[in-house]
Copies of this chain bind each other. A is one copy, B any other.
Amino acid sequence: MHSFLDFLIEENMSMLTDFYEFTMCASYFDNKKFEPATFDLLIRRLPKNRSYFLFAGLEQVLLFLRSMRFTDKHIAFLKAQGFKDRFLDYLKEFRFTGDVWAVPEGTVVFPNEPLIRVTAPIIEAQLVETFLLNTVNLQTMLATKAFRVVHAAKGKSVVEFGLRREHGVDAGMKVARCSYIAGFNGTSNVLAGLTYGIPLFGTMAHSFVMSFEEELASFRSFVKTFPNKSTLLVDTYDYLEGVRKASVVAKELEKEGYCLGGVRLDSGDLAETSNKVRVFLDEQGLGYIRILASGDLDEYKIAELNSKKAKIDVFGVGTQLGTSADMPYTDVIYKLCERMGSKGIFLPVMKLSEGKVTLPGRKQVHRLSDRTENLVKDVITLADESTEGEPLLVKMMAKGKITYDLPSLEQIRQTCLENLSRLPQKYKKLRGAPTYPVETSRKLNSLIESLKLKLKN
Chain A contacts to B: CB under 8 angstroms? 1-10, 12-13, 15-24, 26-28, 30-31, 33, 37, 39, 59-60, 63-64, 67, 73-74, 77, 81-82, 84, 122, 126, 129-130, 133-135, 137-138, 161, 163-174, 188-191, 193-195, 200-208, 210-211, 213, 221-222, 224-226, 230, 235-238, 266-268, 319, 323-325, 328-330, 332, 334-336, 339, 341-342, 349-356, 406, 408, 455
> Are A190 and B22 in contact (CB-based, < 8 A)?
yes
- Cα distance, A278 to B388, chains bound together (Å): 52
> Are B23 and A172 in contact (CB-based, < 8 A)?
no
- Cα distance, A10 to B169, chains bound together (Å): 10
> Are A77 and B336 in contact (CB-based, < 8 A)?
no
Residue of B nearest to A190 (CB): B15
> Are B205 and A20 in contact (CB-based, < 8 A)?
yes
Q: How far is the CB of A457 from chain B (nearest CB, A)?
A: 11
What residues on B are CB-neighbors of A67 within 8 Å?
4
- Cα distance, A266 to B354, chains bound together (Å): 10
What residues on B are CB-neighbors of A1 within 8 Å?
59, 406, 408
- Cα distance, A126 to B210, chains bound together (Å): 12
What residues on B are CB-neighbors of A164 within 8 Å?
18, 129-130, 133-134, 137, 332
Given B8, B201, B356, which contacts A8 in the complex, CB threshold below 8 Å?
B8
> With A165-B137, A169-B8, A329-B165 given, is the CB distance from A211 to B336 under 8 Å?
yes
> Are B351 and A206 in contact (CB-based, < 8 A)?
yes
Given B74, B77, B190, B354, which contacts A18 in the complex, CB threshold below 8 Å?
B190
Q: How far is the CB of A159 from chain B (nearest CB, A)?
A: 10
Residue of B nearest to A339 (CB): B211
Copy tally for this chain in the complex stands at 2
> Are B168 and A22 in contact (CB-based, < 8 A)?
no
Q: How far is the CB of A192 from chain B (nearest CB, A)?
A: 8
> With A134-B163, A134-B165 given, is the CB distance from A173 to B22 under 8 Å?
no
What residues on B are CB-neighbors of A191 within 8 Å?
7, 12, 15-17
Residue of B nearest to A242 (CB): B353
> Are A18 and B168 in contact (CB-based, < 8 A)?
no
Given B59, B73, B81, which contacts A200 in the complex, CB threshold below 8 Å?
B81
- Cα distance, A384 to B385, chains bound together (Å): 78
Contacts A5-B8, A18-B190, A134-B163 aside, 16 further interface pairs with beta carbons under 8 A come to A4-B60, A5-B10, A5-B13, A8-B169, A15-B191, A15-B194, A16-B189, A18-B161, A23-B204, A23-B226, A129-B205, A167-B167, A167-B170, A206-B335, A237-B455, A268-B354
Given B122, B171, B195, B351, which contacts A168 in the complex, CB threshold below 8 Å?
B171
What residues on B are CB-neighbors of A267 within 8 Å?
353-356
What residues on B are CB-neighbors of A12 within 8 Å?
191, 194
> Are A24 and B406 in contact (CB-based, < 8 A)?
no
What residues on B are CB-neighbors of A189 within 8 Å?
16-19
What residues on B are CB-neighbors of A7 within 8 Å?
173, 191, 194-195
> Are B24 and A204 in contact (CB-based, < 8 A)?
yes
> Are B200 and A19 in contact (CB-based, < 8 A)?
yes
> Are B33 and A74 in contact (CB-based, < 8 A)?
no
